[in-house]
Amino acid sequence: MMTKHKRGFGYNFALRWVVCSLGLWIAAGLLGGGVDYQNRLGVVVVAGAILALINMLVRPVLIFISIPAILVTLGLFMIVVNGATVYLASKLYAPLHITSFGVAILTGLIIGLVNYLVTAILDKR
């Protein structure tokens, strides 16, 4: 039986950073002008780091505050929480521009799918 290798904080943060950056880049390609990173890779990388930090520090608080809504909607409110984190990242880092909260929600869904795929690939290893 294989056991999972326990990874440290640095590895987990780096993986979140890469996933967030990749998800933002893919979302910008799929959503056209809804997500603008000024065609600069550096913007996506910095925005990915900011989003990873928000997901580690702010997202748990948002989830705790949102528990009643999450329970009532059988978890679907998590889509709104994910969109809020993306929207917050765009407000904190001006070079990343998200046109609306709806686009932020779609971007959050795309990042979630990228996260799922990356996790599935890494778990098979």
Give SS3 for 36: strand
Of 88 and 8, the structure prediction assigns the larger pLDDT to: 88
* Contact present, 48 and 21 (Cβ < 8 Å): yes
pLDDT of residue 1: 42
Model pTM?
Answer: 0.88
pLDDT in tens, 31-45: 988 999 999 999 999
Of 77 and 119, the structure prediction assigns the larger pLDDT to: 77
pLDDT of 15 strictly over 80: yes
pLDDT of residue 5: 55
What are the backbone angles phi and psi of residue 97, rounded to the nearest 5°? -115, 120
